[in-house]
């Protein structure tokens, strides 16, 4: 599929109103937060400068919009602890991303179309034309019908909801981790498609995303059923895997599909279930979990360079939590 490109604002996508002082201020704040987080972590780009300021930006988020019938909906503004989809979408809007990666559960509770229009569309829908979503378990409560109706061709084939595209020099793979509905097993149609897609797109850098995390210290924990997809991604030298499902933020070390550390060819993974719905406490902390938070809503900002990337968690306005760094793609 062709790489998504920013489109002119429509009725459901707000353009940042230049040269409004407030808009400029928020955009500067987002950029400064990301840069400050990198400096605080002591992270600098490697000597070959794999990332530059002109490289494309991907905003990652999951577990996003409350149902309008949720007691915390509050006209779409939420409360301090729930239904913060408007606040997190403001962070994304002012970041002016090239692409928005929704890692599932974009609309609660069952992903029906009317709820999409009343909740998601009024917040994250402002960036709809730049969005490439993965389907979550809540959208699959209705077989993905509302998800498909709302996102249309942006969500990939209606029968499978897995697809791929390119952004900048990166190849991006979107998978369906609802394995009871669309098999994830070795030899399944999805797993065979994934291996063929990776072979057909031998990019230096590859990122994949799905809803269920292979590794997670959250309430749901490790999704062992996606192991065959991770096996294929590791064999195909993927660099990053992004997920949601657990309502928190977590970053893991670079690992093999079996959970052992591999600093050379391992996959760095993130759980970004901090999109607004609410939080759940962490359970047993899994090996190789390096950063985690379950109290601050926000998004993951990735800048995708020709041979590497930077990451930074960007919190909603008025909140504070930092996690950031740089990485180089597998050779």
Q: What is the pLDDT along the chain (331 residues), one digit of tens a residue?
A: 444 433 333 334 454 433 334 444 444 445 545 544 444 444 444 445 678 889 999 999 999 999 999 999 999 999 999 999 999 999 999 999 999 999 999 999 999 999 999 999 999 999 999 999 999 999 999 999 999 999 999 999 999 999 999 999 999 999 999 999 999 999 999 999 999 999 999 999 999 999 999 999 999 999 999 999 999 999 999 999 999 999 999 999 999 999 999 999 999 999 999 999 999 999 999 999 999 999 999 999 999 999 999 999 999 999 999 999 999 998 7
What is the dihedral angle through the alpha carbons of 156, 159, 160, 163, rounded to the nearest 10 degrees?
-20
Which token pair is 220? Answer: 């749901």
Q: Using the Cα atoms of residue 37, residue 305, residue 157 and residue 124 in order, give the sign of their dihedral.
A: positive
User: Residue 107's beta-bridge partner residues?
Assistant: 65
Q: Map residue 307 onto helix, strand or coil.
A: coil
The answer regarding whether domain 21-45+55-326 maps to CATH 3.30.565.10 reads: no
Q: Which two tokens stand for residue 106?
A: 């974009």
The per-residue pLDDT for 49 is 63
CB count, 10 Å around CB of 175?
32
Q: Which of 276, 300, 287 is nearest to 207 (CA)?
A: 300
Q: How many CB atoms lie within 10 A of CB 180?
A: 9
What are the CA-CA distances from residue 33 to residues 28, 321, 324 (Å)?
8, 10, 10
């Amino acid at each position: 599929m062709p790489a998504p490109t920013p489109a002119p604002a429509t009725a459901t996508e707000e353009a940042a109103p230049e040269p409004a002082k407030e808009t400029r201020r928020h955009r500067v704040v987002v950029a400064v937060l990301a840069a400050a987080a990198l400096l605080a972590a002591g992270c600098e780009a490697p000597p070959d400068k794999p990332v530059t300021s002109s490289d494309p930006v991907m905003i990652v988020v999951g577990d996003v919009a409350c149902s309008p019938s949720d007691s915390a909906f509050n006209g779409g503004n939420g409360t301090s602890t729930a239904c913060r989809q408007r606040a997190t979408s403001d962070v994304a809007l002012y970041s002016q991303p090239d692409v928005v990666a929704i890692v599932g559960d974009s609309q609660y509770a069952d992903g029906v179309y009317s709820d999409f229009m009343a909740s998601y569309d009024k917040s994250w829908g402002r960036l709809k034309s730049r969005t490439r979503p993965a389907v979550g378990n809540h959208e699959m409560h209705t077989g993905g019908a509302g998800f498909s109706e709302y996102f249309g061709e942006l969500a990939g084939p209606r029968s499978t909801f897995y697809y791929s595209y390119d952004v900048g020099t990166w190849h991006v793979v979107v998978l369906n981790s609802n394995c009871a509905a669309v098999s994830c097993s070795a030899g399944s149609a999805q797993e065979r498609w994934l291996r063929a897609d990776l072979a057909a797109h031998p990019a230096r850098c590859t990122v994949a995303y799905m809803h269920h995390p292979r590794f997670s210290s959250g309430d749901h924990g490790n999704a062992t059923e996606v192991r065959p997809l991770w096996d294929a991604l590791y064999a195909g030298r993927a660099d990053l895997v992004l997920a949601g499902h657990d309502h928190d933020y977590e970053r893991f070390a670079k690992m093999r599909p079996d959970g052992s550390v591999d600093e050379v060819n391992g996959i760095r993974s993130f759980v970004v279930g901090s999109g607004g719905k609410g939080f759940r406490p962490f359970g047993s902390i899994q090996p190789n979990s390096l950063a985690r938070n379950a109290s601050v809503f926000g998004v993951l900002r990735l800048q995708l360079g020709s041979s590497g990337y930077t990451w930074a968690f960007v919190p909603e306005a008025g909140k504070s939590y930092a996690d950031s760094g740089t990485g180089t793609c597998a050779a």
